[in-house]
Structure 1
Amino acid sequence: MTAIFFDLDGTLTDPKEGITKSIQYALRELDREVLSGDDLEWCIGPPLKQSFDQLLGNPSLSDDAIALYRRRFSAKGLYENAVYPEIELLLTELREKNIPLYVATSKPEIYAIQIVEHFKLDKFFERIFGSELDGKRSNKAELLEYALSETGCCPSKSLMIGDRKHDAMGAQHNGMISVGVTYGYGTASELKTAGVQHLIDKPLDLLDLMASL
C-alpha cells in the first residue's frame, strides 16, 4: 500500500454539532426557516455551496450564507467536534506500519488544519489537503487529483477512506481504491450506488481489510 487518504468530517471526526449550528446561524441571519440539526445532517460532507444552494433555493444567496456560516464556524463551530472511537488507535497502528497518511477533505484547508491540530492528530499525517476559501478544489475528484500529484503516490496502490458518495466517486475518478465507512453520515446504499469498492463498519475494520487486499 503506497498511502492512505482520509476524509475528515464523518470519517475521522464527528462534526455534526459545529456544522449544523453554523448552518442554523446563517439561516437565522438570513430570516430563513431554521431546520433542526437532524434535518441538516445531509449537509455534512458535500461542498458547503451545494448545501446552501439547495437549502436556500437561490444560488445568488449562497455566498452571503457561506460568509455567515464561516463567521460562527471559525470562532466556535470547528471545535464543536469529536474524534470517533478507535481512530487514534487505528492511526497509531498504521503509522507503525510506516504507511504515509494524508487528510483529503472538501472543507477549507485552513479549518481542516486547525481541527486536526486541535485534536492532536497532526502527528499522524504527512500533510492535510483541503479546499481554498474561494471554493477551489472543493470537488473531491479535483482535490484528490491535486493531492496525488503533490505527493507522487500511485493511485492504484492508494486508499481513499470516506463516508459519502463524493469520496467514493472522487477515488474512482482518480483510479484509487475506495473504502466507505458506515459509521459516518453516508449510508451503505449511498456508497454502493457511488461505486465504492469496500465497506467498513468501524475504524479498526480497516486493518482486517488491508490484510486481505
Structure 2
Amino acid sequence: MNSISFDLTRFDAAIVDLDGTMVDTLGDFAASLNRMLDDLSLPHVAPAAIETMVGKGSEHLIHSALVHVMAPDAAADAKAQALFDRASERYQHHYLAINGQHSAVYPGVIDGLKALRASGLRLACLTNKPTSFAKPLLVDKGLDGFFELVFGGDAFERKKPDPMPLLKTCEALGTTPARTLMVGDSSNDARAARAAGCPVVLVTYGYNHGEPVRGVDADGFVDSLAELAPAALR
C-alpha cells in the first residue's frame, strides 16, 4: 500500500466509485441480464463472464452479454446491435425491480467512509452505472448519507475512463483535481483519474475487466476501504 492514502491532509475531497468498490453488485447484474436474455429467448451468461464486462456502463454491459451468448456466430456483433433497444428496455425493467436484492456492501466500506468524513473530506459518488440505478442502491445499502453528490454514467456527455466526469465532479465539489482523491476498483477509474490530475487509490477486490488490478497505474492499493483511515482512526 502506498502511503498516499494515509495522508488525508493532502485532500479536500474524495470521489468514490460504486460497483466493485463499495458494493458487490455482480449478483444484481447476473439476475437482470439473465432475465433480459430469457425475454429474448437467448441462453444465460455466467457470472464469471459478466464480471469481465462490468465497469463501462450499461450499454457496454448489455451489448457484451448479447455478443457473448451469440458467439461464435460471425455476425454476433451486428445481431446484438439489432436487438439492443429491446434488450436495453428489458434490462432496465428487470434491474429496477431487483436493484440491491442480490448485492452486498464490501467489508470495511462503512468504516472507510466514516474515516474519510471524520478527516474532513467532502465525498461524491461517481459511477458509470445509470443515476436511476445508483441512487436507489446507495439508499438501499445505507450509504447515501455519506455523499454530498451522486453522479451516474448518464450525468455527463462521457463516461470514465474519460476524465470529464471527474473534472465535472471536482467542479461541482469546488475542489481542485490535485486535492481530490479518486477511489475505485479498475483501470477505468485510474485512467480517468490520471487524465484529470487526481491521485488515485484502487481496491484489490473489485471488477477490473478480468485483469490483475495491481498491474494498473495507480498511486496505491488497499484490500479494504478501512485501510484509508489514518492509524488514529482505525
Give the whole-Å Cα distance in 1 for the aligned partners of 2:83 and 2:160. 20
Give the whole-Å Cα distance in 2 for the aligned partners of 1:106 and 1:93. 25
Aligned match of 2:65: 55
Aligned match of 1:115: 137
Call closer, same or farther: CA 1:49–1:90 in 2, change over 3 Å: same
Larger RCO (CA under 8 A, 6+ residues apart): 2
Give the whole-Å Cα distance in 2 for the aligned partners of 1:123 and 1:190. 32
User: Highest Rg: 1 or 2?
Assistant: 2
Instruction: Tell me the matched-pair count.
Output: 209
Q: Larger deviation: 51-60 or 187-196? A: 187-196
1:123-162 mapped onto 2 (5 Å cutoff): 123-132=145-154, 136-141=157-162, 142-162=164-184
For normalisation by structure 1, the TM-score amounts to: 0.88
Give the whole-Å Cα distance in 1 for the aligned partners of 2:148 and 2:19. 18
Q: Classify the secondary structure of the residue corresponding to 1:44.
A: coil
Call closer, same or farther: CA 1:178–1:188 in 2, change over 3 Å: farther
1:27 is aligned, of 26, 37, 44, to: 37
Summarize deviations over 1:47-85 as a string: whole Å, max 9, x none. 121223333323333232221111110011333221111
Q: Contact 1:106–1:140 at 8 Å: present in 2 too?
A: no
Unaligned runs of 5+ in 1: none
Give the whole-Å Cα distance in 1 for the aligned partners of 2:205 and 2:146. 21
Q: Contact 1:18–1:76 at 8 Å: present in 2 too?
A: yes
- Counterpart of 1:27, as a letter, is L
User: Percentage identity across aligned positions?
Assistant: 27
2:204 is aligned, of 164, 170, 182, to: 182
Compute the displacement of 1:193 (Å): 4.7
- Counterpart of 1:152, as a letter, is G
Give the whole-Å Cα distance in 1 for the aligned partners of 2:106 and 2:64. 28
- Counterpart of 1:138, as a letter, is K
Call closer, same or farther: CA 1:187–1:149 in 2, change over 3 Å: same
- Counterpart of 1:126, as a letter, is E
Aligned match of 2:102: 80
- Counterpart of 2:22, as a letter, is L
Call closer, same or farther: CA 1:196–1:60 in 2, change over 3 Å: farther
- Counterpart of 2:226, as a letter, is L
Give the whole-Å Cα distance in 1 for the aligned partners of 2:81 and 2:179. 39
